Amino acid sequence: MQRLGGLDAAFLYFETPTMHMHVGGLMLVDPSTMSKPYNFADLHAYIDGRMPLVPAFRRKLVPMPLNLARPYWVEDEDFDLDYHLHRIAVPAPAGDHETADVVAEILSRPMDRSRPLWEMWIVEGRADGLLAVVSKVHHSTIDGITGANMMAELFDLEPDAPARVAVPDDWEPERRPSDLELLGRAVYDVAARPAGVVKLLPSTLLGLGRIINRRRGGAAGMPAPFTAPRTSFNATLTPHRIVSFVNVSLDDVKTVKNAFGAKVNDVVIAIASGALRRYLAARDELPDRSLIASIPVSVHDRTEDKEGTTKVSFMFASLASDVEDPVKRLRLIAETNEGAKKDHDMVGASFLQDWAEHAAPNTFSLAARMYSSMRLSERHPVVHNLIISNVPGPPIPLYFCGARLVDLYPLGPILDGLGLNLTVLSNMDHMGFGFIACRELMPELWDLAHAVPEALGELTKALNGSGAAASAAKKSTAKRTSKKATSGRSDS
């Protein structure tokens, strides 16, 4: 039995009928590389054989009595793969839009908390012959790093990979603790909560004081809270989701990064900013002030001693969407991101986890429901406009039951007042941009996806028109080539 970490549990507390706290993923795989024709029964057996490698897939929640404290994970005594692995056909003739509709429908439904919190759907019937594999995992179970680890266990490096080294499947369901045992643990947690909060206050105040001092000195940093402009997608959610996705060249992104001395994450944010400018301007909604994004930051390497699976922090970033020139926009984003990272480090990598450990479940759950039902997100200044996450993906070919991975699009959660999420993941020579939004707030979400290549094109066009930038790109490319020749390592 394992207790959930503070952030793991927070994703449960804040979930409402319209604000689902699961994350999704769309993987397009090519069954033509399989050693024999695709058969769902073979895929079912393949997933079943990987269960010992992914222990989280057979754990379910044990809530505390009266919901007084964080719940526990326990091995599911009734685990049945058929409740989690599903097969569905997309209406013909099917392409990306029809596939996205099926994905959105799957992600529009909450998860059954009485079972392990994951689902996988195999979507058949695409006109191009590809299979769509849709994953759906609750955020209390997974973050970017743990998701990548799970992916490594479900995929192989070649289509006819030899059998994995046998892992003894000595799994057995656990005895569910009695209500009296759980109540004793809950009472202890409740009693320790005030002391924990008092202990955190000095370090929190010290971190905030350091940030204020940096700002007084004129240093760039995170945008101030409640300064984001309101847009049509900053409103109360419905349960319905809409999905769109698109690929761009990873080489183009890296060329822009190297030419302008930025980071990949800066370029991703600049592309998102350019796409949102086009989307909002076409609807006469482009604000005079810059949009603000919340950026998840993995802190696994700095919080190894903390409980739980989800180990992320967040920082706010300006999209400089009020700047028309794409190069100036990128440079401003890079500058403010550098300052935002310093602000983030001053607060501390474990800030969110530490405070989440002392959250009162009933209070936070009730607050989330009241916030949603009273539509409070539409009555106060906007904290931030959307979530943007950039996750490094596989740089090598991967195979799922022998089917080659072609495209990979992650899809994160959306929140009341924050009805748009963009998650970006690199795969081989391209980057997949996965958009998910509230359907009623952004019914034309494909327009935003289609604006992504145009936004990157603005930057590459500006690069080609700048002699200095082009020269820098050539020098950077030559330097990478030299490194590869001498060390055999690829540039990241």
List, by residue number, the catalytic residues: 139
Please give the C-alpha separations between residue 302 and each of 221, 277, 299, in angstroms, as whole numbers.
Answer: 22, 36, 5
Parallel, antiparallel, or unpaired: how do β-strands 131-138 and 292-298 relate?
A: unpaired
- Bridge partners (DSSP) of residue 249 are 430
Q: What's the number of CA atoms in the CB half-sphere (13 Å) around residue 142? A: 28
In 3D space, the residue among 391, 390, 430 whose CA is nearest the CA of residue 407 turns out to be 430
Is residue 259 within 8 Å of residue 460, measured between CB atoms? no
In 3D space, the residue among 244, 27, 28 whose CA is nearest the CA of residue 127 turns out to be 28
In 3D space, the residue among 160, 137, 161, 159 whose CA is nearest the CA of residue 149 turns out to be 137
Is residue 406 within 8 Å of residue 30, measured between CB atoms? yes
Is residue 440 within 8 Å of residue 235, measured between CB atoms? no
